[in-house]
């Protein structure tokens, strides 16, 4: 949707939303290209190193078959369809089939335990589920808790079993002719559950238009994506909005091939090898992945064109490292499950300011507002708000109208994150409302301190929290994972504290430094500071 320009202002002025009344994600990302004879859509690297390519006509034929399989089992328009698989072709096919049939996809993370799966499948009232042999036992164990679940299709199964239908044989029997449902752009398409870091997960219901709403937020930080020769990849699971609608769906919309590979555990050197082997030009790499890649000695990764990152602030150290390793500036962006990719950077036309998320993506109106939805003064911390009516904004929380209403104040959707804006319009993430530290009268965001800590050679990863203090209200505590070759000591602890005191501010240095083996993170790579705070309150330690 973006028209390239020489300045941010020029691109904003030239932007217009193009959201038709009738729109279907599955037709857009698959059938449209198949009918035009477009080639490679997916490149799948299996665990056994086997590479399989799928064309757009392949995806159309297979998704038509799957839509017919589900319809034959009584799954109809508006029914919810769970998709519980890693990055593999059947995951994409499951989404495309659900969208084309007017059903509502419910992406589910393969590392979820039985309780988490039972909650999401039960809360959404899923009527069908597409999964694989690896995850099937978890579903079998909770099947009696899910009375609405009528059909479970198991990929890799060779024959039907009690409660499960083998995917392959069912597909072989199905017709590959299917007429997609003529959906409206505002019709529901997908329920993506929040990570639940601040309470029970809620299902964010999105309309088909959510993909069109995402496009500017992909094109901008990916440096006016697509360009000839582009090829997209992310280690982020397609069960999350970052993998699904930041990479897979927009790349297919633009006819750009996507590389699919399941990392059972993210290994930075293997990620670099994957990028080089498949000539990947564009990527979404969460900050956690970048921090792990930074630990590779003398890393070099030529040939890429753009990298977007979001979820945590990148900071000066990571930005400098990225320029050295990739030869360009990594573009940070911001959004959340309910309203994603609304702020970002595009280094070729917008000078990146370390610590800043960038400026509002063209087409989105973002402001810093108070709890009543009134914009606050420049430089003052407040809620990051997005103007109502945005095409990328969710329809509401599934089955939770009160929670949906509480998300809004006046004309603004409140993200639950705190931020500030500088005189030039750059936005800065301060933290989750409950992450902000109040110490000796100062309100301190953890991100800036974590960025500073990352600049010390001994620090591989860091999380900063506030812990109770009878005098200061809260004291700043740093939980640090040491880099290879360093051992914890009181001398190193004092050195790290002095590093922050000198580089940042005397009132922002961590009075408590605890060395830990690992940090608790969501599946999308965000540090779960609440877990660290709770553990400190219970035990006095942040070692999990």
For every residue of 228-259, DSSP letters joined together read TT--EE-SS-TTSHHHIIIIIHHHHHTT--EE
Q: pLDDT value at position 501? A: 85
The answer to whether residue 196 scores a pLDDT higher than 60 is: no
More confident of the two residues 66 and 449: 66
Mean pLDDT of all residues in 473-500: 94
Output DSSP code: residue 507: G
The answer to whether residue 12 scores a pLDDT higher than 90 is: yes
Q: pLDDT value at position 507? A: 78
- Is 352 within 8 Å of 319 (Cβ atoms)? yes
Query: How many residues are given for the chain?
Result: 544
The answer to whether residue 1 scores a pLDDT higher than 50 is: yes
Per-residue pLDDT band for 433 (boundaries 50, 70, 90) equals low
Residue 512's closest CA among 540, 484, 473, 483?
540
The pTM is what?
A: 0.85
Residues 363-390: pLDDT tens digits? 999 999 999 999 999 999 999 999 999 9
The answer to whether residue 199 scores a pLDDT higher than 60 is: no
- Partners of residue 477 on adjacent β-strands: 465, 512
- Is 225 within 8 Å of 267 (Cβ atoms)? no
Provide the residue ranges of all domains of the chain, joining segments of one domain with +. 20-208, 435-539
- Is 105 within 8 Å of 94 (Cβ atoms)? yes
The answer to whether residue 198 scores a pLDDT higher than 50 is: no
Per-residue pLDDT band for 37 (boundaries 50, 70, 90) equals very high
Q: pLDDT value at position 544? A: 62
Q: pLDDT value at position 195? A: 63
The answer to whether residue 409 scores a pLDDT higher than 70 is: yes
Per-residue pLDDT band for 126 (boundaries 50, 70, 90) equals very high
Residue with the two structure tokens 């769906």: 249
Residue with the two structure tokens 């009344």: 21
Contacts 24+ apart (CB under 8 A), 143-148: 145/118, 146/118, 146/121, 146/122, 148/122
The hierarchical CATH code for the domain 435-539 is 3.30.300.30
The answer to whether residue 435 scores a pLDDT higher than 80 is: no
Mean pLDDT of all residues in 392-401: 97
The answer to whether residue 340 scores a pLDDT higher than 60 is: yes
Least confident range from 87-91, 283-287, 539-543: namely 539-543
The answer to whether residue 492 scores a pLDDT higher than 60 is: yes
* Average pLDDT, rounded, for the chain: 93
Per-residue pLDDT band for 75 (boundaries 50, 70, 90) equals very high
- Is 253 within 8 Å of 209 (Cβ atoms)? no
Cα distances (Å, whole numbers) of residue 329 to 46, 193, 325, 376: 31, 31, 10, 31
The answer to whether residue 355 scores a pLDDT higher than 70 is: yes
Residues 250-259: pLDDT tens digits? 999 999 999 9
Using a 10 angstrom Cβ sphere, with 0-12 exposed, 13-18 middle and 19 or more buried, the burial of residue 442 is middle
Residue 271's closest CA among 288, 255, 256, 254?
288
Distance CA 241, CA 460 (A): 27
Q: pLDDT value at position 523? A: 65
More confident of the two residues 90 and 197: 90
Mean pLDDT of all residues in 130-142: 96
How far from the centroid of its chain's Cα atoms is residue 405's Cα? 24
The hierarchical CATH code for the domain 20-208 is 3.40.50.12780
Cα distances (Å, whole numbers) of residue 34 to 58, 87, 162, 172, 190: 8, 22, 37, 20, 23
- Residue 156: which region, alpha, beta or left (left: phi > 0; alpha: psi -120 to 50)? left
Residue with the two structure tokens 């006016």: 224
The answer to whether residue 362 scores a pLDDT higher than 80 is: yes
Mean pLDDT of all residues in 339-353: 97
The answer to whether residue 266 scores a pLDDT higher than 60 is: yes
Q: What percent of the chain has pLDDT over 90?
A: 81
Q: pLDDT value at position 317? A: 87
H helices, E strands: number in the chain: 18, 27
Least confident range from 340-349, 491-500, 521-530: namely 521-530
- Partners of residue 462 on adjacent β-strands: 480
Q: pLDDT value at position 470? A: 78
Distance CA 496, CA 480 (A): 10
Q: pLDDT value at position 197? A: 45
The answer to whether residue 146 scores a pLDDT higher than 60 is: yes
- Is 344 within 8 Å of 411 (Cβ atoms)? no
- Is 145 within 8 Å of 118 (Cβ atoms)? yes
Output DSSP code: residue 67: H
- Is 80 within 8 Å of 70 (Cβ atoms)? no
Distance CA 449, CA 465 (A): 10
More confident of the two residues 195 and 138: 138
Distance CA 162, CA 159 (A): 10
Q: Pull the structure tokens for residue 311.
A: 């979820």
The answer to whether residue 432 scores a pLDDT higher than 80 is: no
The answer to whether residue 524 scores a pLDDT higher than 70 is: no
The answer to whether residue 442 scores a pLDDT higher than 70 is: no
């Amino acid at each position: 949707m973006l028209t390239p320009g020489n300045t941010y202002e020029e691109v904003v002025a030239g932007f217009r939303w193009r959201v038709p009344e009738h729109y279907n994600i599955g037709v857009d990302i698959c059938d449209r290209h198949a009918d035009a004879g477009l080639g490679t859509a997916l490149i799948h690297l299996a665990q056994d190193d086997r590479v399989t390519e799928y064309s757009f006509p392949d995806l159309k034929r297979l998704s038509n078959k799957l839509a017919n399989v589900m319809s034959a089992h009584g799954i109809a328009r508006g029914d919810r369809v769970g998709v519980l698989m890693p990055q593999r072709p059947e995951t994409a096919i499951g989404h495309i089939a659900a969208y084309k049939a007017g059903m509502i996809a419910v992406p589910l993370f393969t590392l979820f335990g039985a309780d988490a799966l039972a909650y999401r499948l039960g809360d959404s009232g899923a009527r069908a589920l597409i999964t694989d042999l690896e995850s099937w036992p978890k579903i079998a164990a909770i099947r009696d808790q899910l009375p609405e679940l009528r059909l479970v299709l198991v990929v890799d199964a060779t024959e039907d079993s009690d409660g499960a239908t083998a995917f392959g044989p069912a597909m072989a029997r199905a017709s590959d002719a299917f007429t997609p449902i003529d959906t409206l752009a505002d019709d529901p398409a997908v329920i993506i559950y929040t990570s639940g870091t601040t309470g029970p997960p809620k299902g964010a219901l999105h309309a088909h238009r959510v993909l069109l709403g995402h496009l500017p937020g992909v094109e901008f930080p990916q440096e006016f994506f697509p360009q000839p020769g582009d090829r997209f990849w992310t280690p982020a699971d397609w069960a999350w909005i970052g993998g699904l609608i930041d990479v897979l769906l927009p790349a297919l919309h633009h006819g750009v091939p996507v590389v699919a590979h399941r990392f059972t555990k993210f290994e930075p050197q293997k990620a670099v090898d994957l990028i080089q082997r498949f000539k990947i030009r564009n990527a979404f790499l969460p900050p956690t992945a970048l921090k792990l890649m930074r630990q590779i000695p003398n890393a070099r990764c030529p040939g890429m064109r753009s990298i977007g990152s979001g979820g945590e602030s990148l900071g000066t150290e990571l930005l400098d490292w990225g320029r050295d390793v990739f030869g360009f500036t990594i573009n940070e962006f911001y959004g959340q499950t309910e309203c994603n990719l609304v702020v970002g950077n595009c280094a070729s036309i917008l000078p990146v300011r370390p610590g800043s998320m960038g400026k509002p993506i063209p087409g989105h109106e973002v402001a810093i507002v108070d709890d009543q939805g009134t914009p606050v003064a420049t430089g003052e911390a407040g809620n990051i708000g997005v103007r109502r009516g945005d095409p990328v904004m969710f329809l509401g929380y599934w089955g939770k109208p009160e929670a949906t209403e509480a998300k809004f104040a006046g004309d603004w959707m409140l993200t639950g994150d705190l931020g500030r804006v500088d005189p030039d319009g750059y936005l800065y993430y301060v933290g989750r409302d409950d992450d902000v530290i109040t110490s000796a009268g100062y309100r301190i965001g953890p991100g800036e301190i974590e960025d500073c800590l990352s600049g010390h050679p001994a620090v591989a990863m860091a999380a900063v929290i506030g812990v109770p203090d009878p005098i200061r209200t809260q004291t700043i505590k740093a939980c640090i994972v040491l880099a290879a070759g360093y051992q914890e000591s009181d001398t190193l602890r004092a050195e790290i504290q002095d590093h922050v005191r000198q580089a940042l501010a005397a009132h922002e240095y961590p009075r408590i430094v605890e060395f830990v083996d690992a940090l608790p993170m969501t599946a999308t790579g965000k540090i779960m500071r609440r877990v660290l705070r709770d553990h400190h309150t219970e035990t006095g330690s942040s070692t999990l």
